[in-house]
Structure 1
C-alpha cells in the first residue's frame, strides 16, 4: 500500500482538501473507510472537528454511515468536540445524527431488542421511587413517584408521575402524568413520543424534534467552557452479601411484598469501594493546525481512567456480551409457565416490609410537607379537571386563567356554583407547588382579597407553618441552587457535575494545573501518518484537563430473592442495563473486534457482578443508592407481570382525544 493509500479520508481533512474528500466519498469502496480510526485513535470526523474543518465535517455528515457517537482515545465524542467549538449548527446536526445512530443500532434485525424478545417478549412492572432524607430542606422537595414500564415486543412505554420542577421558592416536583412511548418498526424506523396525560396532549421527539425543544437544548450548549466526564476505578470494588444477624428478628427486614400480598424472602448484597473519577476539560482555545497543547497533571490521559477489578489497566479484548450463557440461564423459565408459577408461589409468614435502611420510613418522617407525605389527590370533580385542562396556563401567574382560578378560591365557588373544597385548593398546590406563593408576590389583588388569599394558603396549604425562613435558607444551599439555576435536564446534569467536581477537589490533595505558556508544535502530514507514530494525539486546541477522585465506600445495595424462588431472573432484565451503558459510554457503534477500553471495563465489571449475585437464580426486588450523608435514592418493585393480556397494544398508541402540541415537555418553571 502506498503512502497516499493509507487513511485517504484523514489525509484530505489534514490538508483541508474538501474537493478531494468529496471525490473519495463518492467511491463506494473508499467511503467504507469513513469510520476508520487512524494511528492516533481519531476517526475522520474527530480530526475534522479538532482542526475546525467545517466544510469537511459537513461532507462527512452527508454520508449516512458516518459514526457520530464513538469516542476517540482521549474519551471525547464528536458532539463534545463540536460543543467546545461553539458551532450551533454542527451541534444541532450532530445531536440528531447521534439519535439516528441509536435508532440504527437498537432497531436492527438480530440486535439487542430481538435477543431480548427471545427471553422476555412481554412484561410490565410498577415501581416506587423516592429520595429519603434526614435533611428537612431536601425532604421538602418531594421527590417521590410511582412508575410503570411496559414492553410488548418492539414497543415500549414508560410512565412517570411528575411533569417538571417548580423553581419558584423551594424547588418542588410538579405532580403530573407523563408517558414516553417508543415504537420500533419492522423496517428499522423508530418513533418516540412524549404524552402529557393530564393535559391530553402529545408531541413527537423523534424523528422530528420540536423546534422549541431543540432551541432550549442549544441554549445549554452556547458558550460552553467546561466539559465533564465520569469514570469508575474498580481496583478495590467488591460485592458483599450481608449476613443475617441476631435470632431472626432482622429477617423481617428482608421480606418484600410484590403483586399485592405475595411475600418473598431476600438476601441483601452490598456493592462497595468504588473510585469515582471526574475529568474536567476547560480553558480551551483553537490554535489551528498544531498538536493540541494539553496542560494537565494527569499521567497517560488516554489510559488513566481504565482501572479494572484487578487494579491494572484493562487492555485485553472482550468479545462476550451480557447474553453469554446457556439458553436456560437467559430464559430462566418457559414463558408459558411464568404466570402459572406466580400463582403457585407463596411467601413467608412475616408481615413486615421494612427496608433495612439507615433512613427512617416516611411514616416516621418528621417532614411537614403534606404534598409529600400524603396520598396524591385525584381529579374527581369539575374544578380539578379544569386545572388539568389548563395546566400549561397556570404555570404562569400573568394570565386570565390564573386570575379566574384565584377568584374561584377566594369566593369559595367554581364557575358552576359548586363549592371549592380543601382538596381542590391542595390539588392546585400538588400540580404546581409554587402557584400560590408566586401569585401572592405579584400583588395582583386588592388588599382585602390579598389578605384573604394569604389566610387560605397559610391555613390549608402551609398548614399554619411559616415558610419564609425555609425559603431564605435555600439561597446558600448548593444542591438546591443547582436545581434552581437549571433551564432543562441537560443544564441540570452539567450543574451537578460541576458541583461534584468542586466538592471532590476540596476533599482531595490533587495538584492544580500549573500555568505555562501555550506551545504551538507543528506536525507535518508525513509525521502525523507515520506508521511508527502511534501515540494518542489531539489536534488544534490548547486546553486544561484535570481529574478529581473520590472514594465511595457504600455504592449500592440490592435486595435479591432467594435462589430459584422467583419466576424471573436478573439476566432477563439485563438489556435495560446494557442499553443504558451503551448510550452512556458511547458504545453503540463499537464492533466486537474493536479493542475498546471502556467496553472492556463495562463487560468485565458487569459479568463479575452477575456472577457474584447469582444472577441466573435471583431477581432484584429493591435497590438503594446513597447520594450523600443522610440521603438515599430508593427504587422498589411493586408489581411485575409477563402476561401479554395485561399489556394491550393500545398502550403504545396516542389516544384519539389527545391533541398534538409542540410545547409538551418536562417543565422547569422559574
Structure 2
C-alpha cells in the first residue's frame, strides 16, 4: 500500500487487514488522516463498525481516532457500536466519548467563559409533571446549582436515579460534581461527591469501573435506538401583550430576597424530529438495506441520503399522507390567546387542545370515526363522553361496529383533552379484563381460568398485554402507545422474509466499487434495518427578565458546548455553523436584548408530560462563591459514587 492510494486507512479496514493498519498508523503522516472521511462520508471507524471489523476497531481506538463525529446518515460511532453488540467496544467508545466531553469543557468552554463571566452562581428548579398518576410517579424533580470561579466549576443536583421495582419512580440524591482545569499544565480533573454520605471519587481522568460497567449494561442487547433532532427554521418568538384577563408581566421572588420583573414571550414552531432505528441484521460487505417509512433528505444538521432509487424516493414522498409523518403542525400554530399553563404560582398544568393535536399513534389519522355521530357541536360533553368511554371499554358500539386503530387516532388528534381525562381515570381489574377480551386478537386461556392470560392489542402495538399487569399501567400503555421490548412473531417473520428476498448479488460491494472515485453516493454498509421518523411541533412559554445582572450572552460558551454535544461536532466546532442554542441561531435574537435572562420556562414535552424550569437565585459576587466549594472536604472518604443508577 502506498501513500498515493486513495484512503489507505479505509482500505485496510475494508480488507480487515489489522497488521498493515498498525504499521500504517506508526507513520505520523498517515496517522493524521485517521479521521478522514471517504467519498461516501464515512470515517475509518464508521466503516469498521458497519462492517464489524473488530480488530481494526480496537487498533483505531488505541490510536486516538474520533469517536463522536457522525457519518452522512447521521449515526455516530456510539450508535453504530450498539448494534455491533460487542461489550468491550461499546465500553471503549463510550468512555472515550465521555473523556472527550470533559476535556473539551475544561480546555475550551471554561477558557471562553472566563472572558465574559469569570464568576457566577445560578440555581434552578426543574420539575416534570403529569396528570396521569402512573407517569407522575416516574417523573423527577431536581434542584440544580451551578458555581463557577475562573477555571473551577461545580454542579449540585438532587436527582439520584430511578427505581424500577413495581411502578418506576425517580429517586432523590445529594450529589455534586467538581471540574478543575489547570491552564499552565493543561490538566483537567473531575470529582463526584455524595454530600449525604460524605464520600468522593475521581471521575476524570481515571473513570470509575462502576461507570464502565453501567455503560456496558445499558447498551448491550438493544434492538432499537432513538435519535432526536430539532428544527427551528420556522421558529417565531413573540412578546405577548396583556389584557384584562391575561397577565403578561410578572414579578418573581428569588431565594436571595430580590425580586425581578419579567415579560412573557411565546416561542412557536419548535419541531422535534424523532428518528427510530431498529431490526438490525448484520450482512457483511453488502450495501445496507434500509426500510424507511419516512425519508427526510433535508434534515439539519446532517443531510440524510438514502440508497433508495429516485423512483422510490418520489413514490415515498408522494405517499406521506398514508403514513405518520407527524406533520409540520403549521396549521396548529397557537393564537395569541392560547396557553398550556395557568399563570398561577402553583404551576398547575392545563393541557391545551392546540398543542395536543400533535399527539401521535402508529397509524393513519382520519377525519371519520364511529365516535363522530356521538359528538355534537364539535365537543364531547358529559353524555357523549360516557357513551364513547363505554364503546372503548366494550370494544364496539351498540350496532356491533368494532373500535379500530383509526378511531383512537381520530379522538387523539381532535379531542386530546378527552383522551387525557380517559387516561387519568382509574380502571378496575374487571373492566381491564373486559377491555383485553374485547380488543384481543388471540387469547391463550379462558378468562375464568387461573392460567395467566396474554393478549395482543388491536391498536397497532407490538407490545404484549398481560392480564396480571397493573390495570392502570397497561390501560395507559394500550392507548398512549408505550410498548414493551418484546418483538412480535410478525416482526420476526418479516425479518426472515427480508433476508430471503434480499438481492445479495446486486448489493455486493467490492473494494473497487466502494473506492471508485466516481462513486460519491452516501453508502451505509453491512446492515438490514428499519428507520422511521415522527415529528412534533412544540412551543415554549418563557418569562424573561426586563433587566438582569447575568445575561444570556454571558452563557454563550456553555450554550456553544451544548450545541457541540447535540450535533456531535466536538472536533469540528470551529468549522460548524450548527446551532440550536445561543446567539449563532438568529431565532433567539429577541432574548439577547436589554440584558434579559429567563426566569421561568414551560415546555410541553408530550400531551401528558410537561417540564418547567424556574430560576431561584443568581449572583456574580465573587465573595459568595468561596474557593472551598471546589475542594474535597477533609472529612470525606474515597468510595464509589454511583450516580443515576437504575435500581
The TM-score, its normalising length taken from structure 1, stands at 0.65
**Is contact 2:567-2:578 (8 Å) kept?**
no
Which runs of no fewer than 5 residues in structure 2 stay unpaired?
306-338, 351-468, 488-494
1:306 aligns to 2:300 (yes or no): yes
Distance 1:570 1:30 in 2: 43
| Inter-partner Cα distance in structure 1 for 2:273 and 2:70 | 18
Q: Distance in 2 between matches of 1:604 and 1:530?
A: 41
Q: Distance in 2 between matches of 1:87 and 1:518?
A: 26
| Structure 2 match to 1:215 | 213
Per-residue deviation, 1:170: 4.7
Confirm or deny that 1:572 pairs with 2:568: no
Q: Deviations over 1:207-266 (max 9, x none)?
A: 23332332232112221111211112334322222112228x725x52122353322221
Kindly state the Cα deviation for residue 610 of structure 1 after the two structures are TM-superposed. Answer: 2.8
User: In structure 2, what is the equivalent of residue 317 of structure 1?
Assistant: none
Gap change, CA 1:228 and 1:580, over 3 Å in 2: same
Q: Which residue of 1 aligns with 2:413?
A: none
Matches within 5 A, 1:57-136: 57-64=57-64, 66-108=65-107, 111-136=108-133
Instruction: Give the Cα separation in 2 of the matches to 1:282 and 1:146.
Output: 35
Say yes or no: does 1:184 pair with 2:181. yes
Stretch deviating more after TM superposition (171-180 or 91-100): 171-180
Alignment match, 2:33:
33
Aligned residue for 1:263? 259
- Secondary structure (helix, strand or coil) at the match of 1:181 reads strand
Q: Which residue of 2 aligns with 1:389?
A: none
Match of 1:194 among 185, 188, 192: 192
Displacement of 1:615 in angstroms is 4.2
Change (3 A) 1:53 1:4: farther
Match of 2:19 in 1: 19
1:102 and 1:269, CA in 2 relative to 1: closer, same or farther beyond 3 A? Answer: same
Backbone CA RMSD of aligned residues: 3.6
After superposition, the C-alpha distances for 1:296-335 in whole angstroms (9 at most, x for unaligned) are 24436xx342389xxx999xxxxxxxxxxxxxxxxxxxxx
User: In 1, are the aligned partners of 2:341 and 2:349 still within 8 Å (CA)?
Assistant: no
Q: Residues 575 and 80 from structure 1, CA distance in 2 versus in 1: closer, same or farther, beyond 3 angstroms?
A: same
The answer on whether the counterparts of 1:48 and 1:54 sit within 8 Å (CA) in structure 2 is yes
Query: Within the alignment, does 1:545 sit opposite 2:527 as a pair?
Result: no
Q: State how far apart, in whole Å, the 2-side matches of 1:192 and 1:625 are.
A: 32
Cα distance in 2 for partners of 1:477, 1:577 equals 40
- The 1:41–1:637 alpha-carbon spacing in structure 2 relative to 1, beyond 3 Å, is same
- Measure the CA separation in 2 of the matches of 1:630 and 1:12: 51
Structure 2 residue 262 is matched with structure 1 residue 276: no
1:254 match: secondary structure: strand
How many residues matched?
484
Matches of 1:17 and 1:55, distance apart in 2: 9
Look up the match of 2:234.
236
User: Deviation at 1:642?
Assistant: 0.8
Cα pair 1:83 1:221 within 8 Å, conserved = yes
- For residues 426-475 of structure 1, what are the alpha-carbon distances to aligned partners after superposition, in whole Å with 9 as ceiling and x for unaligned? xxxxxxxxxxxxxxxxxxxxxxxxxxxxxxxxxxxxxxxxxxxxx95553
Cα offset, 1:93, TM superposition: 0.9
Contact 2:159 2:171 in 1 (8 A): yes
What do the CA deviations read for 1:561-596 (whole angstroms, capped 9, x no partner)?
A: 12xx22221111233322222112211012534xx6
Instruction: Please say which of residues 290-299 and 651-660 is displaced more in the overlay.
Output: 290-299
Distance in 2 between residues matched to 1:50 and 1:574, nearest whole Å = 36
Q: Secondary structure at the match of 1:35?
A: coil
1:127–1:146: 8 Å Cα contact kept in structure 2?
yes
Residues 571 and 616 in structure 1, CA contact (< 8 A), matched pair in contact too: no
- Structure 1 segment 446-457 matched on structure 2, within 5 A: none
Aligned to 1:533: 519
Given that 2:267 and 2:540 are in contact with CA atoms closer than 8 Å, whether structure 1 keeps it comes out as yes
540, 544, 552: which one aligns with 1:556: 540
1:592 maps to which residue?
Answer: 574
Residues 194 and 202, structure 1, Cα contact 8 Å, conserved in 2: yes
The structural deviation recorded for 1:606 is: 5.1
Query: What is the Cα deviation at residue 26 of structure 1?
Result: 0.8
* TM-aligned CA deviation for residue 185 of structure 1: 2.7
The answer on whether the counterparts of 1:474 and 1:480 sit within 8 Å (CA) in structure 2 is: no
Equivalent position SS for 1:567: coil
SS of alignment partner, residue 34 of structure 2:
helix
Q: Relative to structure 1, is the Cα distance of residues 290 and 4 closer, same or farther in structure 2, using a 3 angstrom cutoff?
A: farther
* Alpha-carbon contact 2:280-2:527 (below 8 Å) kept: yes
Give the direction of change, closer, same or farther, for the CA distance of 1:106–1:262 in structure 2 (3 Å limit): closer
Structure 1 residue 267: Cα displacement = 1.4
Q: Which of residues 348, 357, 364 is equivalent to 2:341?
A: 357
Residue by residue, what CA displacement relative to the aligned partner does 1:129-168 show, whole Å, maximum 9, x if unpaired?
2234444554456743432111111221111224233444
1:47 is matched with which residue?
47
How far does residue 640 in structure 1 lie from its aligned partner after superposition?
0.6
Determine the C-alpha separation between the residues in 1 that align with 2:138 and 2:28.
56
Q: Distance in 1 between matches of 2:558 and 2:484?
A: 29
Q: Evaluate the alpha carbon distance shift between residue 474 and residue 207 of structure 1 in structure 2; reply closer, same or farther with a 3 A threshold.
A: farther
- The 3-state SS of whatever aligns with 1:37 is coil
Whether 1:288 and 2:274 are equivalent positions in the alignment is no
8 Å CA contact retained: 2:583, 2:589: no
Q: Is the 8 A contact 2:583 2:592 kept in 1?
A: no
- Any conservation in 2 of the 1:183–1:191 contact (CA below 8 Å)? yes
Deviation at 1:172, TM superposition (A): 3.9
List aligned pairs for 1:385-464, cutoff 5 A.
none
Aligned to 1:662: 640
Question: Which of the numbers 131, 143, 148 marks the counterpart of 2:145?
Answer: 148
Match of 1:379 in 2: none
Please give the TM-score of this superposition, normalised by the length of structure 2.
0.67
CA distance in 2, matches of 1:72, 1:290: 17
| Counterpart check, 1:650 vs 2:636 | no
How far, CA to CA, are the matches of 1:140 and 1:227 in structure 2? Answer: 25
Q: Secondary structure at the match of 1:113?
A: helix
Distance in 1 between residues matched to 2:550 and 2:616, nearest whole Å: 15
Quote the Cα distance in structure 2 between the aligned partners of 1:541 and 1:655: 52
Confirm or deny: 8 A CA contact 1:126 1:149 kept in the other structure: yes
CA distance in 2, matches of 1:77, 1:655: 39
Q: Is the 8 A contact 2:49 2:80 kept in 1?
A: yes
Higher relative contact order (CA 8 A, sep 6+): 1
Query: 1:284 & 1:131 partners in 2: Cα distance?
Result: 33
The Cα of 1:627 is off from its aligned counterpart by: 2.6
Aligned match of 1:624: 602
- Name the structure 1 match of 2:313: none
Q: Secondary structure at 1:178's aligned position in 2?
A: strand
